[in-house]
Amino acid sequence: MSFKEQLNEDLEIFLELEEFGEKFKIDGIEYSGVIEQPNNKTPKEEYEGIIKDLDFIIYIKHQKELEKYSAGKEFSLNGRKLIVNRNYVEQGIMVIELYERGTY
């Protein structure tokens, strides 16, 4: 088995619903992945003196249709309106960092 095949297999295990993941809706469309709620007492990012706390981080298998959510875009997670802080792909996993308006 090649490294890339092993990585894809590990990705499927990480995002497996019964073990680690959950179902959630992004703008009304159902997806499966992992949602993390970081400890908001610890600042997650700092930009030139501005500290941002993240309210949610979504880990999901890369979805082309979710690439449209760039920094600053409004985002609905299970009906809750959030703002995208950052959206990037790392080794096949899409990571979407979100915060509530007014929490930074």
d(CA 63, CA 14): 16
In this structure, what DSSP letter does residue 94 have? E
Dihedral of CA 44/38/69/5: which sign?
A: positive
In the predicted model, what is the mean pLDDT of the chain?
80
Which comes out higher in pLDDT, residue 42 or 7? 7
Predicted confidence at residue 91, as pLDDT, reads 80
Which residues, 6+ apart, have CB-to-CB distance to 64 below 8 Å? Answer: none
pLDDT tens digits along 39-89: 655 455 555 445 567 899 999 988 899 999 999 999 899 999 999 999 999
pTM (2 d.p.): 0.74
Measured CA angle at 34 (ends 4, 46), to 5 deg: 95
